[in-house]
Amino acid sequence: MEREVAETVVRATREEAELRARDDLDQLRRQAVEAGRERSRKIIKITNINTSTGGISYNPAGRLLRDWYLHVYINSVRANLGQPNEAIDAQQVQDTALLLERVRPGAEPLQATSAVDATRKIAVADAAAAVARIIERLADAGAVRAIRQAPDHRFDSDPLRVHVTRHWYQRSYDRTVEEAVNARHAPTAANDAEMVHVADALVTREARRLLGHDGALVLPAYSDGLRIEGPAADAAMKMFNHTTLLTTSQIAGQEDDLACLDRGGSRQEPAAWSLDAPAISDRGSDTRRIQ
Amino acid sequence: MIEADDKAASNEREFDTVPEHPIATTRQRTDESRAERNRAVDSLRASLSDQEILTEFGIDLSQIAG
């Protein structure tokens, strides 16, 4: 392989991976927002139904707090994904508490403030859970997309070039995701030296360690001593300090899940977005059913 | 060659700290925010029963996990 061709492959692979990662993040964020809407209806009721009398009454406090929950949830999801968002500050909490006091004049001011604060923190916790789900799903998606990017027959079926390209794709994809969640120890942006290193591997068909165990780049002066022997799939994995082989058999069964992202559909059931775990003990009991 | 090997070994030792994966980071954030949420719910419960919270404010705490 000519060096110019190798450098083009490396650059194009990185750009495709970064683009896909951003699209996938956006797609899952939209799904997470819908899950949040569903969740708001479940945890904050706006109608009281008295099962004894059959009477139904509207609860404006529930409407206000449901809107407040969604406002906090959506902006927290966006903040956790490094997307533009409106910061939830103390003034907003205070303003919402004042509104709540107006619609619930019987409630003590401290209780209204406490209800607003609790709703806010429920939303923040749910948003954090949603983002954790997104990141878990993208960890799988990145691997599948990497294999699709470099199928076994690519590069005249040269296994080292195929596997180095896959891991390079995965590294570029993961880096975009990590930067989005502001993960600590996130790798630095791809630089020219890194791309030259990967292009070298494609040209020479030799894998040399690119990353240390902490994800930091190995200095070029040291990498000559870090030539990796062994099967191509294994050598490429070690080159990028990854922990999972990227083989075709690995993606069996994951294609449907990925198709959901590709189509922009919502194959995932709301339950799959379960933003919470087992319920805490219900301390109250009443004949009223509330929706 | 020996020098190169030494450099390589030294380089390997230099990077013996395993980085925190984004999955671990986001799970940790989830745990921390849930703990904060539980404290806020406890604070609300200090003055109202779950049923009163539901009736007054519409918040159904039976749907909130601990």
pLDDT tens per residue, range A16-74 = 999 999 999 999 999 999 999 999 999 999 998 877 888 888 999 999 999 999 999 99
Q: State the smallest CA–CA distance between residue B47 and chain A in angstroms.
A: 7
- B29 CB within 8 Å of a chain A CB: yes
pLDDT of residue A209: 83
Q: Could you report the per-residue pLDDT of A139-161, keeping only the tens digit for each? A: 888 989 999 999 999 999 999 99
Q: Please answer yes or no on whether B41 and A118 come within 8 Å at the CB atom.
A: yes
**Contact at 8 Å (CB) between B52 and A112?**
no
Which residue in the set B26, B33, B57 is minimally distant from A125, CB to CB?
Answer: B33
Amino acid at A92: Q
CA distance A115 to chain B (A): 6
Question: What are A235-238's contacts with CB under 8 Å, separation 24+?
Answer: A235/A160, A235/A163, A235/A207, A236/A160, A236/A163, A236/A164, A236/A166, A236/A167, A236/A207, A237/A163, A237/A167, A238/A207, A238/A209
Region A259-283 average pLDDT: 53
Q: What is the pLDDT of residue A248?
A: 85
Q: pLDDT confidence of A187, banded at 50, 70, 90?
A: low
Contacting residues for A208 by C-beta, under 8 A, at least 6 apart: A197, A200, A201, A223, A224, A226, A227, A228, A239
Q: In this model, does residue A2 exceed pLDDT 60?
A: yes
* Neighboring chain B residues of A44 at a CB cutoff of 8 Å: 58-60
Q: How far A251 CA sits from the closest chain B CA (Å)?
A: 20
Q: What pLDDT is recorded for position A231?
A: 92
Q: What is the pTM of this model?
A: 0.78
* Closest chain A residue to B41, measured at CA: A118
Going by their DSSP bridges, the two strands A289-290 and A47-49 should be labelled as: antiparallel
Q: Nearest CA of chain A to the CA of B60: how many Å? A: 5
- pLDDT > 90 fraction of chain A, expressed in percent and rounded: 49
Q: Which range is least confidently modeled, A72-86, A209-223, A245-259?
A: A209-223
What is chain B's mean pLDDT, rounded? 77
In this predicted model, which residue has the larger pLDDT, A122 or B65? A122
Band of pLDDT at residue A183, cut at 50, 70 and 90: low
CB of A126 closer than 8 Å to CB of A73: yes
pLDDT at A226 over 90: no
How confident is the model at residue A127, as a pLDDT? 96
Residue in A with minimal Cα distance to B17: A214
A280/B21 touch (CB, cutoff 8 Å), yes or no: no
Residues of A in contact with B7 (CB under 8 A): 221-222, 225
**With contact defined as beta carbons under 8 Å apart, do A212 and B14 qualify?**
yes
Percent of chain A with pLDDT over 70: 79
Whether chain A has a CB inside 8 Å of the CB on B20: the answer is yes
